[in-house]
Copies of this chain bind each other. A is one copy, B any other.
């Protein structure tokens, strides 16, 4: 124990500030190496701190990861609802949700990979704050779907939850090669295709795309007939308010 040379001197920071430093370093190291290959010592070095200090603020390595991802999720949700408020129409809103999800994946592939691989699917996930945030996030889509159903724009026999699963699951599988750094991700194109595919599946086909035009045509022909044979029998029952 050679404490003769120089006594150690360290900077002492308020709790919040130090946590920011640690979380920033953790985010960086986790992003670059993944969870398993990330070492507490590297995170500590990045934060200008010693290993033991980290355990003053976080239960363990995993707790630190969850905190980092939680911050990210919170920032994702922040202006979500507000932005969506500016989008009108079922299809546009659906497309926006899909587009925004794709975009956040493209913007933060590393954190996304961590969430997919390390958090979701682990035992403690359903008790975590991250799970609650995820519910909040996906509930935005659920509400859109419910509204669309109530408005008669969607098939009434749909399982809303299954639609959600297909959308987020489809997105996740679609971005897999991108997340593996083995392919590009065209957000616009994917959003368009996915929206189209989901819509064409869940949108109730309009009663008669051709029948309106046809209806009008027949109407006019019937009127022609009436001119020839003025007072015919009343036959305008299935046209609605005539």
Residues of A within 8 A of B (CB): 36, 113, 116-117, 120-123, 125-126, 155, 158-159, 161-166, 168-174, 176, 179-180, 182, 190, 193-194, 197-202, 205, 208-211, 213-215, 217-218, 220-222, 224-225, 227-229, 232, 235
Contacts and interface: CB of A to CB of B under 8 A. Distances in A.
Nearest to A165: B173
27 contacts: A116-B121, A117-B117, A121-B176, A126-B182, A159-B193, A162-B193, A164-B173, A165-B170, A166-B194, A168-B169, A169-B171, A169-B172, A169-B174, A198-B201, A199-B201, A200-B202, A201-B202, A209-B209, A210-B210, A210-B213, A211-B213, A213-B214, A213-B215, A214-B217, A217-B218, A224-B224, A227-B229
Contact of A208 (B113, B125, B197, B210): B210
Nearest to A238: B216
Given A169-B166, A227-B229, A180 B116 contact: no
A208 B198 contact: no
Contacts of A123: 180
Given A121-B117, A122-B117, A228-B228, A213 B222 contact: no
A222 to B, nearest CB: 6
A163 B210 contact: no
Nearest to A162: B193
Nearest to A168: B173
- Which of A36, A163, A169 has the most C-beta atoms of chain B within 10 angstroms of its own C-beta? A169
A148 to B, nearest CB: 14
